[in-house]
Amino acid sequence: MSPLPRTAEHPSLAQTYRDIRALSTALAEPLTAEDQCIQSMPDASPTKWHLAHTTWFFERMILSQLPGYEVFDTRFDAIFNSYYLGLGTPFTRAHRGLLTRPSGHEIGAYRQHVDAAVDRLLTSASPEKRALAVLGLHHEQQHQELMLTDIKHAFSCNPLLPAYRPGAPVAMATTPALDWLAHDGGKVEVGHDGKGFAFDNEGPRHEVWLRPFRLAARAVTCGEYQAFIDDGGYKRPEFWLSDGWTLAQREGWDAPLYWLDGERLFTLHGTRPRNPGEPVAHVSFYEANAYAAWAGKRLPTEFEWEAAAARETLHGNFLDIDVLNPKPNEGGKPSLLGDVWAWTRSSYDPYPGYQPFEGPLSEYNGKFMIGQVVLRGGSCATPPGHIRATYRNFFPPSARWQFSGIRLAEDA
């Protein structure tokens, strides 16, 4: 078992805790009580469940171990545990939308109760407890992204196509030229070096061998993806993996999720004209791989992406509540982070020598290392300060509701 990653003593951890927790509350603020209860599919969760679960994480993983701490409500353990089977039997994930109680007001009181206890703890916490708190904050940031992607899916199911927040008009952009980042390959080190925070699945650092390659300096745009559609990309099985072709035909896919008729797009700011210069988002791994085949390229491996990222000054757009959508790459700089997650051609597998966190947290990542594909780089819904060049996100190849996009690679 791997111990929790150590984080240096930092006097501002308590303020960082308050800021991150406040962002979660701010993300829920535009939503009505009805909005916060909705669960539009089994893979998504209601907003108020996210608010409660992240609070449960701090209470169950840190506070409940402290002498004298009074649990807010012992019944919450059964409904806000996500998947930690070592701590009990979680409430069925697909039925979280049935949890109309506790109310949003009660969940707000729950958050205040736990926040007050964590605030007291952080004034004199041991390094181990501080490391647990840092893990809890990164966990909350993961759920902040999910709060946005989950409510976007729910609102897309409503014929009114409501806006989560009003947004400023977006200037139309042309598809920018595609530049390439060359890498000579050879032996490179990948994985987290142990300095600062990382999830257990980011290590240990190890050597891999890469053939010479080139990585696109930006993500594929909506305009480029439209050309794939116009050329019959969804009707030509020669570009598709077998499972992806079967799924696309069964589900009737003919464009990315949230593309509407009349060259319009559904966003968290409501509907608007599709911008040909912005990164295409909400495509599955199958669609990303088919596009790459059509373009005569391929998807990068996660190690190619990381090796290229290690050489670049990283640019990109992260969570900005006023601009909750990928932005066009108008500056011409290589952009490897933010805007859209990049599907890779790598299965989500353990690194050589991988060890999960100790105790109940051993279930955090390792047990999902089957049937998933790695994504890299973060998105426009990823909170700033949460992403790293070694960060490994993962989803099933069919997933489309995340801000997932396409970055091309080719052999050099």
Q: What is the pLDDT of residues 154-163, one digit of tens each?
A: 999 999 999 9
- Regarding whether 147 and 194 lie in a shared domain, the answer is no
pLDDT at residue 9, rounded to an integer? 43
- Same-domain pairing of 151 and 218: no
* Residue 108 included in any domain: yes
Q: Residues 152, 200: one domain? A: no
Give domain status of residue 168, yes or no. Answer: no
Number of domains in the chain: 2
Average pLDDT over residues 40-64: 98
Please check whether residues 90 and 18 belong to one and the same domain: yes
- 146 & 197 share domain: no
pLDDT of residue 248: 98
Rounded mean pLDDT, 304-333? 88
pLDDT, tens digit, 9 for 90 and up, residues 151-201: 999 999 999 999 999 988 778 888 888 999 999 999 999 999 999 999 999
In a domain, 56, yes or no: yes
Same domain, 137 and 27: yes
Query: Residue 6: what pLDDT?
Result: 46
100 shares its domain with 24: yes
* CATH code (residue 380): 3.90.1580.10
List CB contacts of 181: < 8 A, sequence separation 6 or more: 214, 215, 216, 217, 308, 311, 312, 334
Q: Say yes or no: 270 and 376 in one domain.
A: yes
On whether both 152 and 193 belong to a single domain, the answer is no
366 and 405 co-located in one domain: yes
Is residue 22 one of the residues assigned to a domain?
A: yes
Task: Locate all alpha helices (DSSP H) within 29-170, ordered by sequence.
Answer: 33-37, 47-61, 77-80, 104-122, 127-156
Domain stop point among 123, 156, 189: 156
Residue 202 has pLDDT above 60, yes or no: yes
Q: What is the pTM of this model?
A: 0.96
Query: Is 261 found in the same domain as 229?
Result: yes
Of 110, 141, 156, which marks where a domain is finished? 156
Domain of 148, in residue numbers: 13-156
The DSSP line for 208-258 is EEE--EEEESSPPBHHHHHHHHHTTGGG-GGGS-HHHHHHHHHHT--S-TT
140 band by pLDDT with thresholds 50, 70 and 90: very high
> Do both 291 and 402 map to the same domain?
yes
Strand order in the sheet with 180-183: 180-183, 213-216, 409-411
**Per-residue model confidence as pLDDT tens digits over 320-371:** 999 999 999 877 788 899 999 999 999 999 999 999 999 999 999 999 999 9
Indicate if the pLDDT at residue 8 is higher than 70.
no
